[in-house]
Chains A and B, each alone.
Chain A
Amino acid sequence: MRVSRKRDIAPYVFLAPAFLIFALFSYFPFLKTILMSATITNSGGEMKKFVGFRNYLDLFTSAEFVSTLAVTGKFMAMVFVPTLVFGMIMALLTERRNGPVSVLSEVLFSLPMAVASASAAIVWRMVFNPASGVLNYILGTNINWLADKNWALFSVAMVTVWLQVGFTFIFLVTALRGVQPEVKESAMIDGANAWNIFWKIKLPLISPTLFFVVFFNMTLSFQSFGQIRLLTQGGPGTSTTVLVYQLYQEAFMNKRYGSSAAMSVVLFLIMLAVTLFQIRLERKGVFYN
């Protein structure tokens, strides 16, 4: 009897701390954000007036928000494609372990994983400096990377690629090493060259990881904030204003929490859509063992 009573309560005791935190800082704010998105707030963030979907209507009819969504999409694409290509090259280079060389490469390739967006922004800032930065010097160009409307997004994306390529590399190299050597051997015996082996064998075999990495990079870049705030503040104009940055501006500079909450909900829905799409694709198209 005693034992069974104890068993009744024990699980909830073990779960309580984690769920208390979830309730306070995930579930509650999530619901509150949804509620707040349907209201107008005062500058202190108190909900004053219920307005239904008006915040959303305002958002989607404002040219600024539509441009923000476009910039966000462009930014994600500008980040994940190069990240994937570079990550794959790095992974192929270190796939085969050969002692200290590959260990050293692994360390160097994954180094940016330890770097915060704020620190990255600081070291990259000088690289971009138009007058005495190394980038213009090496390329022989005269581009004002962070202040030119045509280049600012590209520059911020470059920093983001650098920040994310380490993660991508780690996932890809782990997957590549998981490919059975026997598979490659047999293919080689059948006359395949490295190029064919990569496209016809390794790539299909690691396709689950590949898909994962694409979505991982998209979600990660979607949430970029530090580098944008510190390098361009969303400018020039709105050329680098991504969703998270506009959300931040709306809440903490314009003090329009209702509208900012609506943006949060849009952000959540986009992430949800991406995730569901990912699950869908994985079920269908990816080659699993």
Chain B
Amino acid sequence: MTNVVSQTNVVSRGGGRASVPGDMGVSGGTRVPTAIGVPASARASVGLSIPAGSHIPGNANIPGDSRVSDDSNVPMDSRAPAGSHIPVVSRGGGRASVPASARVSAVAHVPIAARVSAAGAGVRRIAAGGRAYNIAARVLKATVSAAIGLLVAAPILYGLSMSLMRDADIMAFPPKIFPIHATLENYFNVVRTVPIFRFIGNSIVVSVSVCLLQLLTCSMAAYAFVFLKFRGRRTLFVAALATILIPGDATIISNFLTVTRLGMADTFTALIVPFATSATGIFLIRQFYMSVPKELKEAALIDGCGDFHFFVKILLPISAPVLGALAVFAIISTWNQYMWPLLITNTPENRTVQIGISMLQFSDGIVYGLVNAGCMLVLIPSITFFVICRKKMVDSLITGSVKG
């Protein structure tokens, strides 16, 4: 995320322009600053030490169309070991060869190895000599990628395959990989055994509510931290971030007892309200707000716009990308919750999906086909959602960096 880059490290000391990792998702995400013309310096001046949990990786920037491929292993006659020049910080150097891509990069302040004078020639030599090698390397790389990708996806695909098998085929030896006698019977059985659609509906309601509440509370708090001056601002901000240090597991018992005593056990309220805000979310949105020029607010105030009006009518609409990132993250993590809903719900009416499907596992011994069918009904929506919103999810992760 753009503005985050500037506060991660020294990358953008001075006028360094925050850069955006392209494909990996951040692009669409929070690049708004360019759209509303924030001066680079505004973003670079973010200086905050966040607790460990929220460290943001590296100075993302796009390799663009670098002419030398990273994997080309072309032997060169130069004897000098590469490492010897690194890191030589040549601040201000090397802007020359930034790929002319649309995204700006923080080149100026990143260490760049001292350049050899024969740079151009060397690059050309590599390009000519390494072509065949490059193709071979690329094919090899694609093959390995495919193999690993398949391996990672294998448990899910295997589960899908089992959900379509008859139990006799699942228990067969040698194990069958594909459902030869494909049947949807397991799915019908799931529907007959547990109110799976009820669980799915519950989870949708809970996830969406958590998401909306988080958007509201986090953006409001972030607004106060960025746009308003008041006593105790710094202290309160630290207090908010301190909640990241308290792991949910450490407070879960106490929360359980409180919620039970309040008579809120086994209600949607108990599933939703404890997650109605998040320090990560506040931090995420705050980072975005800091990239919004203060002049925007001043202008609005001159036009007779109050804080509330400015927040709702002007700020929220331009925050759509960062809010989207937070939303995706909130929805997926709520959908995947296990321990809290397990403790707090005890009737099928209020169960959420993860508990619902694990109930199948404990019902009558283990019926693999049935359990896997239930699991797929729950997994497929979340995976689909993830694939569609992957960029947003990655975006919020890179900036927020804390799960849950």
CB atoms of B156 and A111 under 8 A apart: yes
Shortest Cβ gap from A183 to chain B (Å): 6
Q: If the complex has contacts A127-B155, A181-B66, A275-B52, are A190 and B116 also in contact, measured as CB distance less than 8 A? A: yes
CB atoms of B307 and A191 under 8 A apart: no
In the complex, A42→B68 CA distance in Å? 69
Contact string against A for B residues 324-347, beta-carbon threshold 8 Å, 1 for contact and 0 otherwise:
000000001001111100010000
In the complex, A238→B175 CA distance in Å? 31
Please, which residues of chain B bring their CB within 8 A of the CB of A271?
245, 247, 250
CB atoms of A17 and B257 under 8 A apart: no
Shortest Cβ gap from B164 to chain A (Å): 13
Shortest Cβ gap from B398 to chain A (Å): 6
In the complex, A287→B110 CA distance in Å? 12
Let me know if A122 is at the binding interface, CB within 8 A.
yes
Shortest Cβ gap from B138 to chain A (Å): 7
CB atoms of A45 and B257 under 8 A apart: yes
Q: If the complex has contacts A96-B63, A123-B158, are A282 and B55 also in contact, measured as CB distance less than 8 A? A: yes
In the complex, A148→B361 CA distance in Å? 21
Please, which residues of chain B bring their CB within 8 A of the CB of A106?
23-24, 390
Please, which residues of chain A bring their CB within 8 A of the CB of B223?
14
Let me know if B119 is at the binding interface, CB within 8 A.
yes
Of chain B, the residue at the smallest CB distance from A97 is: B23
In the complex, A51→B237 CA distance in Å? 35
Main secondary structure of the interface of A (DSSP, over half): helix
Shortest Cβ gap from A261 to chain B (Å): 6
CB atoms of B82 and A33 under 8 A apart: no
Let me know if B61 is at the binding interface, CB within 8 A.
yes
Let me know if A81 is at the binding interface, CB within 8 A.
no
Main secondary structure of the interface of B (DSSP, over half): helix
Within 8 A of B (CB), among A196-239: 196-197, 199-201, 204-206, 208-209, 212-213, 215-216, 219-220, 222-223, 225-226, 230
Q: How many residues of A contact B (CB 8 A)?
A: 136
Which stretch in A5-13, A59-67, A149-157 binds the other chain? A5-13
Q: If the complex has contacts A25-B251, A267-B247, are A177 and B386 also in contact, measured as CB distance less than 8 A? A: no
Of chain B, the residue at the smallest CB distance from A133 is: B175
Please, which residues of chain B bring their CB within 8 A of the CB of A141?
none
CB atoms of B339 and A226 under 8 A apart: yes
Let me know if A1 is at the binding interface, CB within 8 A.
no
Shortest Cβ gap from A265 to chain B (Å): 7
Chain A residues at the B interface, C-beta cutoff of 8 Å: 6-8, 10-12, 14-15, 17-19, 21-22, 24-30, 32-33, 36, 45, 86, 89-90, 93-98, 101-127, 131-134, 137, 162, 165-167, 170-175, 177-194, 196-197, 199-201, 204-206, 208-209, 212-213, 215-216, 219-220, 222-223, 225-226, 230, 244, 247-248, 251-252, 257, 260-261, 264-265, 267-268, 271-272, 275-276, 278-279, 282, 287-289
